[in-house]
Protein backbone atom coordinates (compact mmCIF):
# COMPACT_ATOMS: atom_id res chain seq x y z
CA UNK A 1 0.00 0.00 0.00
CA UNK A 2 1.43 3.40 -0.99
CA UNK A 3 1.25 6.17 1.62
CA UNK A 4 0.02 9.12 -0.42
CA UNK A 5 0.63 11.61 2.38
CA UNK A 6 4.37 11.13 2.17
CA UNK A 7 6.14 13.92 0.23
CA UNK A 8 7.53 11.36 -2.18
CA UNK A 9 4.15 10.16 -3.40
CA UNK A 10 2.08 13.27 -2.88
CA UNK A 11 2.16 14.34 -6.51
CA UNK A 12 1.05 10.89 -7.65
CA UNK A 13 -2.09 11.31 -5.61
CA UNK A 14 -2.74 14.61 -7.36
CA UNK A 15 -2.40 13.00 -10.77
CA UNK A 16 -4.71 10.21 -9.70
CA UNK A 17 -7.37 12.68 -8.66
CA UNK A 18 -6.98 14.58 -11.91
CA UNK A 19 -7.03 11.51 -14.11
CA UNK A 20 -10.82 11.01 -14.48
CA UNK A 21 -11.33 14.65 -15.46
CA UNK A 22 -8.43 14.57 -17.88
CA UNK A 23 -9.65 11.38 -19.50
CA UNK A 24 -13.16 12.75 -19.84
CA UNK A 25 -11.87 15.99 -21.34
CA UNK A 26 -9.70 14.04 -23.74
CA UNK A 27 -12.69 12.05 -24.91
CA UNK A 28 -14.88 15.10 -25.33
CA UNK A 29 -12.29 17.39 -26.92
CA UNK A 30 -9.71 15.21 -28.58
CA UNK A 31 -11.99 12.58 -30.05
CA UNK A 32 -14.04 14.90 -32.29
CA UNK A 33 -10.85 16.61 -33.43
CA UNK A 34 -9.27 13.31 -34.35
CA UNK A 35 -12.47 12.26 -36.01
CA UNK A 36 -12.59 15.35 -38.20
CA UNK A 37 -8.93 14.94 -39.13
CA UNK A 38 -9.72 11.34 -40.03
CA UNK A 39 -12.70 12.31 -42.17
CA UNK A 40 -10.75 15.10 -43.86
CA UNK A 41 -8.30 12.45 -45.04
CA UNK A 42 -10.99 10.28 -46.62
CA UNK A 43 -12.74 10.76 -49.91
CA UNK A 44 -16.27 10.46 -48.56
CA UNK A 45 -19.53 12.25 -49.24
CA UNK A 46 -21.42 11.18 -46.12
CA UNK A 47 -19.25 9.90 -43.33
CA UNK A 48 -20.51 7.01 -41.22
CA UNK A 49 -18.81 6.26 -37.97
CA UNK A 50 -18.19 2.58 -37.59
CA UNK A 51 -18.65 1.89 -41.29
CA UNK A 52 -15.86 0.65 -43.47
CA UNK A 53 -12.95 3.03 -43.44
CA UNK A 54 -12.11 4.59 -46.81
CA UNK A 55 -8.36 4.65 -47.59
CA UNK A 56 -6.50 7.80 -46.51
CA UNK A 57 -5.84 10.32 -49.24
CA UNK A 58 -4.88 13.98 -49.55
CA UNK A 59 -7.51 14.54 -52.22
CA UNK A 60 -9.58 16.90 -50.06
CA UNK A 61 -6.58 19.08 -49.31
CA UNK A 62 -5.63 19.14 -53.01
CA UNK A 63 -9.12 20.40 -53.72
CA UNK A 64 -8.74 22.97 -50.96
CA UNK A 65 -5.53 24.46 -52.29
CA UNK A 66 -6.88 24.73 -55.81
CA UNK A 67 -10.39 25.85 -55.02
CA UNK A 68 -11.33 29.47 -55.51
CA UNK A 69 -14.07 29.13 -52.90
CA UNK A 70 -11.54 28.31 -50.19
CA UNK A 71 -9.27 31.28 -50.93
CA UNK A 72 -12.30 33.52 -51.22
CA UNK A 73 -13.55 32.44 -47.82
CA UNK A 74 -10.11 32.99 -46.26
CA UNK A 75 -10.16 36.48 -47.69
CA UNK A 76 -13.72 37.12 -46.46
CA UNK A 77 -12.88 35.80 -43.00
CA UNK A 78 -9.72 37.90 -42.77
CA UNK A 79 -11.53 41.09 -43.78
CA UNK A 80 -14.33 40.33 -41.38
CA UNK A 81 -11.93 39.65 -38.51
CA UNK A 82 -10.10 42.92 -39.09
CA UNK A 83 -13.19 45.00 -39.56
CA UNK A 84 -15.25 43.48 -36.73
CA UNK A 85 -12.28 43.17 -34.37
CA UNK A 86 -11.01 46.68 -35.00
CA UNK A 87 -14.39 48.36 -34.78
CA UNK A 88 -15.46 46.38 -31.70
CA UNK A 89 -12.21 47.37 -30.02
CA UNK A 90 -12.69 51.05 -30.75
CA UNK A 91 -16.36 51.07 -29.72
CA UNK A 92 -15.73 48.79 -26.75
CA UNK A 93 -12.87 50.96 -25.50
CA UNK A 94 -14.85 54.14 -26.00
CA UNK A 95 -17.87 52.83 -24.12
CA UNK A 96 -15.69 51.34 -21.39
CA UNK A 97 -13.93 54.69 -20.89
CA UNK A 98 -17.31 56.39 -20.87
CA UNK A 99 -18.98 54.21 -18.27
CA UNK A 100 -15.80 54.21 -16.18
CA UNK A 101 -16.36 57.92 -15.52
CA UNK A 102 -18.36 59.05 -12.52
CA UNK A 103 -21.74 60.43 -13.53
CA UNK A 104 -25.38 60.15 -12.54
CA UNK A 105 -27.03 57.06 -14.02
CA UNK A 106 -23.76 55.23 -14.52
CA UNK A 107 -25.20 51.89 -13.41
CA UNK A 108 -27.96 52.22 -16.02
CA UNK A 109 -25.45 53.18 -18.72
CA UNK A 110 -23.37 50.12 -17.89
CA UNK A 111 -26.45 47.95 -18.23
CA UNK A 112 -27.23 49.40 -21.65
CA UNK A 113 -23.68 48.88 -22.86
CA UNK A 114 -23.85 45.22 -21.87
CA UNK A 115 -27.35 44.61 -23.16
CA UNK A 116 -26.65 43.30 -26.71
CA UNK A 117 -24.41 40.71 -25.17
CA UNK A 118 -27.29 39.28 -23.15
CA UNK A 119 -29.62 38.86 -26.14
CA UNK A 120 -29.39 35.36 -27.65
CA UNK A 121 -27.50 35.47 -30.92
CA UNK A 122 -30.19 33.98 -33.13
CA UNK A 123 -32.91 36.18 -31.65
CA UNK A 124 -30.78 39.29 -32.15
CA UNK A 125 -29.95 38.30 -35.70
CA UNK A 126 -33.54 37.61 -36.65
CA UNK A 127 -34.51 41.05 -35.36
CA UNK A 128 -31.72 42.62 -37.36
CA UNK A 129 -32.72 40.63 -40.43
CA UNK A 130 -36.16 42.20 -40.20
CA UNK A 131 -34.77 45.65 -39.62
CA UNK A 132 -32.40 45.31 -42.58
CA UNK A 133 -35.04 43.96 -44.96
CA UNK A 134 -35.04 45.80 -48.27
CA UNK A 135 -38.81 46.17 -48.66
CA UNK A 136 -40.17 46.63 -45.13
CA UNK A 137 -37.03 47.08 -42.96
CA UNK A 138 -36.79 50.08 -40.66
CA UNK A 139 -33.17 50.79 -41.57
CA UNK A 140 -33.90 51.38 -45.24
CA UNK A 141 -36.97 53.40 -44.31
CA UNK A 142 -34.93 55.66 -42.03
CA UNK A 143 -32.15 56.13 -44.56
CA UNK A 144 -34.70 56.93 -47.27
CA UNK A 145 -36.58 59.39 -45.05
CA UNK A 146 -33.37 61.10 -44.01
CA UNK A 147 -32.41 61.40 -47.66
CA UNK A 148 -29.10 59.53 -47.40
CA UNK A 149 -30.16 57.11 -50.15
CA UNK A 150 -32.57 57.38 -53.03
CA UNK A 151 -33.54 53.71 -53.29
CA UNK A 152 -33.58 50.85 -50.81
CA UNK A 153 -30.29 49.03 -50.26
CA UNK A 154 -30.58 45.35 -51.24
CA UNK A 155 -28.79 43.77 -48.28
CA UNK A 156 -29.61 40.34 -49.74
CA UNK A 157 -28.18 40.83 -53.21
CA UNK A 158 -25.60 43.61 -52.97
CA UNK A 159 -22.29 41.95 -52.03
CA UNK A 160 -20.79 44.99 -50.24
CA UNK A 161 -24.03 45.77 -48.41
CA UNK A 162 -24.37 42.16 -47.30
CA UNK A 163 -20.81 42.03 -46.02
CA UNK A 164 -21.21 45.21 -44.00
CA UNK A 165 -24.62 44.17 -42.73
CA UNK A 166 -23.09 40.99 -41.33
CA UNK A 167 -20.16 42.95 -39.88
CA UNK A 168 -22.53 45.47 -38.35
CA UNK A 169 -24.59 42.83 -36.55
CA UNK A 170 -21.41 41.07 -35.41
CA UNK A 171 -20.06 44.32 -33.99
CA UNK A 172 -23.39 45.06 -32.33
CA UNK A 173 -23.32 41.62 -30.76
CA UNK A 174 -19.59 41.52 -30.05
CA UNK A 175 -18.56 44.91 -28.68
CA UNK A 176 -20.25 44.54 -25.25
CA UNK A 177 -17.91 41.72 -24.28
CA UNK A 178 -14.93 43.85 -25.32
CA UNK A 179 -16.38 46.73 -23.34
CA UNK A 180 -16.99 44.66 -20.20
CA UNK A 181 -13.51 43.16 -20.28
CA UNK A 182 -11.85 46.53 -20.88
CA UNK A 183 -13.92 48.11 -18.11
CA UNK A 184 -12.65 45.47 -15.71
CA UNK A 185 -9.14 46.24 -16.96
CA UNK A 186 -9.64 49.98 -16.49
CA UNK A 187 -10.83 49.51 -12.95
CA UNK A 188 -7.72 47.60 -12.04
CA UNK A 189 -5.42 50.51 -12.98
CA UNK A 190 -4.35 52.16 -9.71
CA UNK A 191 -5.65 55.73 -9.34
CA UNK A 192 -2.20 56.78 -8.11
CA UNK A 193 -0.73 56.15 -11.55
CA UNK A 194 -3.07 58.74 -13.00
CA UNK A 195 -2.38 61.10 -10.12
CA UNK A 196 1.35 60.70 -10.58
CA UNK A 197 0.97 61.37 -14.31
CA UNK A 198 -1.11 64.48 -13.60
CA UNK A 199 1.52 65.82 -11.21
CA UNK A 200 4.12 65.00 -13.87
CA UNK A 201 2.18 67.30 -16.16
CA UNK A 202 0.71 64.75 -18.58
CA UNK A 203 -2.33 65.90 -20.56
CA UNK A 204 -5.48 63.83 -20.96
CA UNK A 205 -4.17 62.29 -24.18
CA UNK A 206 -0.75 61.65 -22.74
CA UNK A 207 -2.32 59.92 -19.74
CA UNK A 208 -4.39 57.78 -22.11
CA UNK A 209 -1.36 56.95 -24.19
CA UNK A 210 1.20 56.39 -21.41
CA UNK A 211 -0.93 55.05 -18.58
CA UNK A 212 -4.24 53.65 -19.83
CA UNK A 213 -3.13 51.87 -23.00
CA UNK A 214 -0.03 50.11 -21.64
CA UNK A 215 -1.95 48.98 -18.56
CA UNK A 216 -4.76 47.68 -20.74
CA UNK A 217 -2.51 45.95 -23.27
CA UNK A 218 -2.84 42.44 -21.79
CA UNK A 219 -6.63 42.74 -21.58
CA UNK A 220 -6.80 44.12 -25.12
CA UNK A 221 -4.72 41.16 -26.30
CA UNK A 222 -6.95 38.57 -24.69
CA UNK A 223 -10.08 40.37 -25.87
CA UNK A 224 -8.81 40.51 -29.43
CA UNK A 225 -8.05 36.81 -29.41
CA UNK A 226 -11.54 36.08 -28.17
CA UNK A 227 -13.17 38.36 -30.75
CA UNK A 228 -11.04 36.93 -33.55
CA UNK A 229 -11.90 33.38 -32.66
CA UNK A 230 -15.52 34.32 -32.29
CA UNK A 231 -15.66 35.81 -35.80
CA UNK A 232 -13.88 32.74 -37.15
CA UNK A 233 -16.36 30.42 -35.55
CA UNK A 234 -19.55 32.42 -35.79
CA UNK A 235 -22.16 30.75 -37.84
CA UNK A 236 -25.64 31.77 -36.76
CA UNK A 237 -25.42 35.48 -37.61
CA UNK A 238 -24.25 34.80 -41.18
CA UNK A 239 -26.58 31.88 -41.63
CA UNK A 240 -29.65 33.83 -40.56
CA UNK A 241 -28.76 37.02 -42.42
CA UNK A 242 -27.27 35.89 -45.74
CA UNK A 243 -26.56 32.14 -45.76
CA UNK A 244 -23.09 33.08 -46.96
CA UNK A 245 -24.34 34.87 -50.06
CA UNK A 246 -24.59 36.72 -52.29
CA UNK A 247 -22.08 34.84 -54.45
CA UNK A 248 -19.85 34.00 -51.50
CA UNK A 249 -19.49 37.58 -50.27
CA UNK A 250 -20.12 36.49 -46.67
CA UNK A 251 -18.90 32.90 -46.88
CA UNK A 252 -16.39 32.64 -44.06
CA UNK A 253 -14.46 29.49 -43.29
CA UNK A 254 -17.13 28.22 -40.94
CA UNK A 255 -19.86 28.90 -43.54
CA UNK A 256 -17.78 27.06 -46.12
CA UNK A 257 -17.35 24.11 -43.76
CA UNK A 258 -21.09 23.95 -43.28
CA UNK A 259 -21.85 24.34 -46.99
CA UNK A 260 -19.44 21.61 -48.07
CA UNK A 261 -20.52 19.17 -45.40
CA UNK A 262 -24.25 19.68 -45.17
CA UNK A 263 -25.39 21.53 -48.31
CA UNK A 264 -23.25 19.73 -50.86
CA UNK A 265 -22.70 16.60 -48.73
CA UNK A 266 -18.96 16.51 -49.28
CA UNK A 267 -18.04 15.80 -45.71
CA UNK A 268 -14.44 15.03 -46.51
CA UNK A 269 -13.94 18.49 -48.01
CA UNK A 270 -15.93 20.14 -45.22
CA UNK A 271 -13.78 18.43 -42.63
CA UNK A 272 -10.64 19.57 -44.44
CA UNK A 273 -11.81 23.21 -44.26
CA UNK A 274 -12.61 22.70 -40.57
CA UNK A 275 -9.17 21.30 -39.82
CA UNK A 276 -7.45 24.19 -41.60
CA UNK A 277 -9.63 26.67 -39.69
CA UNK A 278 -8.67 25.04 -36.44
CA UNK A 279 -4.98 25.26 -37.26
CA UNK A 280 -5.25 28.94 -38.24
CA UNK A 281 -7.13 29.72 -35.00
CA UNK A 282 -4.53 27.92 -32.92
CA UNK A 283 -1.69 29.84 -34.56
CA UNK A 284 -3.43 33.20 -34.18
CA UNK A 285 -4.29 32.73 -30.52
CA UNK A 286 -0.83 31.45 -29.70
CA UNK A 287 0.79 34.42 -31.42
CA UNK A 288 -1.47 37.06 -29.90
CA UNK A 289 -1.55 35.66 -26.37
CA UNK A 290 2.20 35.20 -26.32
CA UNK A 291 2.75 38.68 -27.70
CA UNK A 292 0.60 40.52 -25.22
CA UNK A 293 1.56 38.41 -22.27
CA UNK A 294 5.16 39.39 -22.98
CA UNK A 295 4.35 43.08 -23.10
CA UNK A 296 3.42 42.96 -19.40
CA UNK A 297 6.41 41.09 -18.08
CA angle 78, 84, 85 (to 5 degrees): 85
Answer yes or no whether residue 293 interacts with other proteins by CB under 8 A. no
Q: How far apart are CA 70 and CA 68, in angstroms?
A: 5
Answer yes or no whether residue 296 interacts with other proteins by CB under 8 A. yes
Q: Binding other proteins by CB under 8 A: which of 31, 200, 293, 294?
A: 200
Q: Please identify, among the stretches 49-57, 146-154, 208-216, 223-231, the one whose residues bind other proteins according to the rule CB under 8 A.
A: 208-216
Q: How far apart are CA 270 and CA 287, in angstroms?
A: 26
* Shorter beta-carbon distance to other proteins: residue 58 or 203: 203
Answer yes or no whether residue 201 interacts with other proteins by CB under 8 A. yes
Q: Please identify, among the stretches 11-19, 67-75, 228-236, 289-297, the one whose residues bind other proteins according to the rule CB under 8 A.
A: 289-297
The answer to whether 197 and 220 are in contact (CB under 8 A) is no
Cα torsion 282, 287, 292, 297: sign: positive
* Shorter beta-carbon distance to other proteins: residue 193 or 285: 193
Residues in Cβ contact with 43 at an 8 Å cutoff, skipping those fewer than 6 apart: 54, 57, 59, 60, 268
* Shorter beta-carbon distance to other proteins: residue 44 or 216: 216
Site string for other proteins, 209-248 (x = CB under 8 A): -xx--xx-x-------------------------------
Q: Which of residues 161-190 bind other proteins (CB under 8 A)?
A: 190
Nearest CA to 264 among 251, 276, 277, 281?
Answer: 251
CA angle 41, 235, 252 (to 5 degrees): 65
Q: Which residues bind other proteins (CB under 8 A)?
A: 190, 192-193, 195-203, 206, 210-211, 214-215, 217, 295-297
Amino acid sequence: MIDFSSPKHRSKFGYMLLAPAVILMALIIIYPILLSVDISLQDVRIARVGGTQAPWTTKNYDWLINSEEFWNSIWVTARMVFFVGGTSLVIGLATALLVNQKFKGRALARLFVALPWAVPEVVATVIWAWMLDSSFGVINWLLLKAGFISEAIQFGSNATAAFFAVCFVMIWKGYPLVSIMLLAGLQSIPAEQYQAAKVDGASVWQRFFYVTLPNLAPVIGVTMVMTTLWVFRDFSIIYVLTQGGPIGATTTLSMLTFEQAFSFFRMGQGAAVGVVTMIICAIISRALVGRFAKSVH
